[in-house]
């Protein structure tokens, strides 16, 4: 497998208050973990700036104006109780979007088999009209729409293994049968959405997990519900909202996944991609707020994207 890693130093320009869990150190932790010789064969690329007007593919026409009105000339502004915006946050968000779209181009044009985008701020909580949950724009949703608009993808799947339900992604696609959204997440937990009964127009597969659920229970849930639904949908492309906050170390949730669980899950999604869509996977970083847990989970995720054998070997370390 040829795996593309997309990142960019200017993600540190999105500044959050001291002590906020969504901080620039997250990207540094991932990048440092991926400097190991195990990852020497990664194809690496800096994320270019993307066109924020593409946000209107999934957000309403007033959305960007709302973000700009909340952006301060200096310092940090606050959009809701835990979502902040600084002077250069929209530039960082544009770079995150540009990175995701560059990864999409590389995968759909055959330059890489799959890609991981180490980007911030995260996006899956951003709804059609409302930024929330640390998220400014819904990058994975825009990427799905761009795959359809630019490349003619008829069916796009988004699999979200962040510990928090991606209410924004569900809000955007819940009435659209051309996009499949599957999420495993702790419940009860912020944002309070994601019941199994929330099925959209048959295109939503939510799998809530009780607090203290471990990797074995997660594997059972994916094999019983999400993977069969994904295969039934038969997508042309799989996008991943890759949050690593279900890790047992994470301070914002109470699931007990280990780093190796992310390798196993990535392998299952790769198996589905091999059967459905010519191995095409683009993965975007969402949450993960303990730096060691984030680095461990992301390492296993990327190792499996690169080479299933490498990922299984890493799982045993």
Report d(CA 97, CA 100) in Å as an integer: 5
Neighbours of 66 (CB within 10 A): 15
- CA dist list (Å): 24 to 30, 122, 291: 11, 12, 11
Residue 185 β-bridge partners = 208
Report d(CA 281, CA 301) in Å as an integer: 12
Q: Which residues are catalytic?
A: 125
- Residue that the structure tokens 């952006």 belong to: 71
Q: Which two tokens stand for residue 227?
A: 């993977």
Write the DSSP string, 149-208: HHH--S-EEEEE-SSS--HHHHHHHTT-TTEEEEEEEESS-TT----TT--TTTTEEEEE
Which residues, other chains included, contact 60 with Cβ-Cβ below 8 Å and sequence gap of 6+?
Answer: 128, 129
Let me know how long the chain is.
317
**Of 178, 161, 173, 97, residue with least CA distance to 135:** 97
CB 160 within 8 A of CB 243: yes
Pairing, β 76-78 against β 84-86: antiparallel
Q: Is the dihedral of CA 241, 242, 243, 246 positive or negative?
A: positive
CB 189 within 8 A of CB 255: no
């Amino acid at each position: 497998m040829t795996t593309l890693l997309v990142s960019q130093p200017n993600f540190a320009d999105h500044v959050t208050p001291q002590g906020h869990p969504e901080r620039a150190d997250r990207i540094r932790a991932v990048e440092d973990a991926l400097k190991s010789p195990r990852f020497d064969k990664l194809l690496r690329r800096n994320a270019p700036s993307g066109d924020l007007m593409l946000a209107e593919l999934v957000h309403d026409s007033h959305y960007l104006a709302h973000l700009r009105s909340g952006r301060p000339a200096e310092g940090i502004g606050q959009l809701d109780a835990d979502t902040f915006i600084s002077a250069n946050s929209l530039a960082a968000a544009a770079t995150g979007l540009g990175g995701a779209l560059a990864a999409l181009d590389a995968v759909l044009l055959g330059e890489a088999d799959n890609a991981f985008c180490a980007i911030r701020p995260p996006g899956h909580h951003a709804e059609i009209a409302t930024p929330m949950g640390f998220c400014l724009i819904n990058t994975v949703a825009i990427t799905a729409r761009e795959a359809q608009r630019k490349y003619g993808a008829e069916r796009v799947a988004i699999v979200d293994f962040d510990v928090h339900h991606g209410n924004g992604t569900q809000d955007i696609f819940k009435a659209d049968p051309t996009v499949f959204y599957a999420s495993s997440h702790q419940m009860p937990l912020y944002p309070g959405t994601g019941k199994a009964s929330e099925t959209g127009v048959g295109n939503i597969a939510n799998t809530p997990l009780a607090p203290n659920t471990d990797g074995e229970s997660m594997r059972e849930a994916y094999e019983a519900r999400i993977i069969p639904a994904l295969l039934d949908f038969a997508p042309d492309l799989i996008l991943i909202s890759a949050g690593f906050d279900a890790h047992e170390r994470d301070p914002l949730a109470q699931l007990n996944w280990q780093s190796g669980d992310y390798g196993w899950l990535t392998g299952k999604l790769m198996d589905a991609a091999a059967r459905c869509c010519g191995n095409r996977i683009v993965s975007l970083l969402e949450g993960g707020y303990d730096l060691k847990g984030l680095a461990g989970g992301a390492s296993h995720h990327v190792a499996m994207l690169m080479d299933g054998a490498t990922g299984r070997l890493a799982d045993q370390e």
